[in-house]
Each structure stands twice: as structure tokens, then as C-alpha cells.
């Protein structure tokens, strides 16, 4: 005897959805976006940069060192001593030999601290050491 329920059992075919190509595509897109994204590096401290009429935008700043108004020095989002600047910059230059060092000093920080930081960078072997500034308003 042929019943409707037996017909449904016989016609039931297994439908499989293969999601492996979809997962592969998602990983390829993820890798693409990670490779093409440019990450903004920061010093780890908010500073009020001084103004300079001759300030030039620099896009290759790979090593950033911050000096806040209380003369505390920040490297890679952590506070470091002025004597540790040289070792940290040497380590960063070992990872990226063409690295450009930018000292981001607050306008209220002492000049002596900024000079000590820049001196530590030069002693570490950094060829390009710059002091960050911003253009005056209206320029």
C-alpha cells in the first residue's frame, strides 16, 4: 500500500550545505582588511603640542615618545625613565631600522627633558629625530 507518509520518507533527500568556502572567504577578507589598514600610533599621553610656523607633516613616524607637562616620559603607552629611553629606542630600531623617531612634548614640559629624550634617541642610533609641533591657527 502506498501512503503519503511513505512517499515523503522515500523522497526525502539529504540536503547538505557546505560552508567551508564561505569560511575561507571570510578569512581572506579579514586578512585583506588587516593588511590594508593603517594603524595610528600614539604615545599614550595627551599633550598640548607647541605651534610652529614651519611645522611639516610627517607620515613615517614609527617611533613615538611622549613628554607630558609634568615631564613624565611615555613610550608605547607606558611611563619610562629618561635613562630607559635609549634602550627602548634601540629595541624599536632593531625591529625597524628605518624608523623615524618623533618626540611629542607638551608645551608646558621643560626643554631639558625634551633634549634629554632626543639625546637618548640619538645615542640609540636614531638618525631622524624630530620634535612634534602643530601649525598655528588660521594657517
Tens digit of each residue's pLDDT (9 = 90 or more) over 109-128: 998 999 999 999 999 999 88
Within a domain: residue 52? no
3-state secondary structure of 66: strand
Q: Alpha carbon of 64 to those of 3, 30, 102, 137: distances in Å?
A: 78, 28, 5, 24
Q: How many CA atoms lie within 13 A of 136 on its CB side?
A: 5
- Determine the structural domain holding residue 10 and report its residue range: 4-36
Whole-number Å distance between alpha carbons of 83 and 98: 23
SS3 percent helix, strand, coil of the chain, rounded to 5, is: 35, 15, 45
- The answer to whether position 22 is within a domain reads yes
pLDDT of residue 61: 62
Q: Are residues 71 and 112 in the same domain?
A: yes
Instruction: For residue range 24-69, list pLDDT tens digits in order.
Output: 999 999 998 888 776 556 666 667 677 777 777 766 667 889 999 9
Residue 26, in any domain of the structure: yes
What residue ranges in 1-139 does DSSP mark as E strands? Answer: 61-67, 73-75, 78-80, 100-105, 129-131
pTM of the model: 0.63
Any domain includes 84: yes
Tell me how many domains the chain contains.
Answer: 2
- Position 50 scores a pLDDT of 73
Instruction: Confirm whether 74 is domain-assigned.
Output: yes
Amino acid at each position: 500500500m502506498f501512503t503519503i507518509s511513505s512517499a515523503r520518507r522515500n523522497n526525502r533527500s539529504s540536503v547538505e550545505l557546505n560552508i567551508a568556502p564561505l569560511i575561507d572567504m571570510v578569512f581572506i577578507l579579514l586578512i585583506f582588511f588587516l593588511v590594508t589598514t593603517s594603524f595610528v600610533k600614539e604615545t599614550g599621553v595627551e599633550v598640548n603640542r607647541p605651534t610652529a610656523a614651519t611645522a611639516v607633516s610627517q607620515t613615517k613616524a614609527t617611533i613615538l615618545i611622549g613628554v607630558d607637562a609634568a615631564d613624565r616620559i611615555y613610550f608605547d603607552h607606558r611611563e619610562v625613565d629618561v635613562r630607559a629611553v635609549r634602550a627602548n629606542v634601540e629595541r624599536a630600531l632593531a625591529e625597524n631600522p628605518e624608523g623615524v623617531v618623533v618626540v611629542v612634548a607638551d608645551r608646558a614640559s621643560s626643554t631639558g627633558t625634551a633634549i634629554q629624550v632626543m639625546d637618548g634617541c640619538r645615542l640609540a642610533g636614531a638618525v631622524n629625530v624630530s620634535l612634534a609641533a602643530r601649525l598655528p591657527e588660521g594657517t
